[in-house]
Amino acid sequence: MRVTSSSSVRQAREALGKRLREIRKDSGLTARELASRAGWHESKCSRIENGRTAPSYDDLRTYTLHCDAEDQTADLIATARNIEGTYVEWRRLERAGLKRVQESVTPLFERTRRFRTYQSWVVPGLLQTAAYTRAVLATVTALRDVPGDLDAAVAVRMDRQRVLHTGNHRFAMLVEEWVLRTVIGDGEIMAGQLDRLIALASLPSVSLGIVPLGVQRGGGWPVESFTMYDDEQVNVELVSAHLTVTQPGEIAEYAKAFTELSAIAVYGTAARALIRSAIDSLG
């Protein structure tokens, strides 16, 4: 899977560009004529209309002004804003603080019935202890210089875990074994986190699979961490950005990856044995 962009973003930009091309053609203008009136380089229209360049809001206003289609300006800007929200750099997303980031996904968690989560970096957020969450978010705060609202952000994430015990929700969680052996915070925090994994895995609504170290991979290669919310949306955690996938074909690719990873994971007694082994390794 690609880790820097998404076909969802590309296809959305191409669709917006096609719509702008239709607006221009309906007005009777050539691309060269529009560029001349707008004071643009003559290649700019082509780049925008083919989805190679994302139009700014001023670009959209220029299109509608010179194509006598100003009644479409607000809708075009709303479309562009939605595309921007598909791929968002963490620094931009976290500008208002970590609490706001945590709060923003609460409605999505509450309306989702089937969660499928794969984590190759850290323990899934819904299964984290408060101490583990604090250690993870403290690292984020230090690395990306975000506002210091750590206590509030931890509280929001802990409150969100109520979905584990309320409503008609089902959770399928896959974790790479090396996540169990990567010490976040310190040994005491990690031991508490691993104990919690064992406890939560016993919930009727939770299926916890561990992908063992050294397992023959076949098609289940490690990929970026992601969560599927029903079959409507996938959120992907990239190093530099947060990606939202909504294209059905691309969602199907993540569903296939989850199925392949599920097939090589271990569950129940075998999964608990790997977790206890990780606890023992802490000494």
Q: 162-191, pLDDT tens digit by residue?
A: 999 988 999 999 999 999 999 999 999 999
Domain ranges of the chain: 7-87, 94-281
Q: What is the CATH number of domain 7-87?
A: 1.10.260.40
> In this structure, which CATH number among 3.40.50.150, 3.40.50.10300, 3.30.870.10, 3.20.20.80 belongs to the domain 94-281?
3.30.870.10
Tell me if 226 sits within 8 A of 234, measured CB to CB.
yes
The count of other CB atoms within 10 Å of the CB of residue 166 is 9
How does pLDDT run along the chain (283 residues), one tens digit per residue? 333 345 667 777 888 999 999 999 999 999 999 999 999 998 999 999 998 888 998 999 999 999 999 999 988 887 786 666 566 554 555 565 677 767 777 888 999 999 999 999 999 999 999 999 999 988 877 776 676 678 888 998 899 999 999 889 999 999 999 999 999 999 999 999 999 999 999 999 999 999 999 998 877 788 889 999 999 889 887 665 567 887 777 888 899 999 999 999 999 999 999 999 999 999 8
For residues 25 and 66, the answer to whether their CB atoms sit within 8 Å is no
Q: Which residue has the tokens 């700014």?
A: 56
CA gap 58, 66 in Å, rounded = 12
Torsion sign across C-alpha atoms 221, 118, 152, 190: negative
C-alpha 208/C-alpha 202 separation (Å) is 9
Partners of 89 in the beta sheet? 241
249 phi and psi, to 5 degrees? Answer: -65, -40
What is the three-class DSSP state of 230? coil
Distance CA 263, CA 211 (A): 9
pLDDT at position 78: 73
Task: Identify the pLDDT of residue 107.
Answer: 86
| Closest to 67 measured CA to CA, from 24, 126, 37, 104 | 24
Rounded Cα–Cα distance for residues 193 and 199 (Å): 10
| 3-state SS, residue 98 | helix
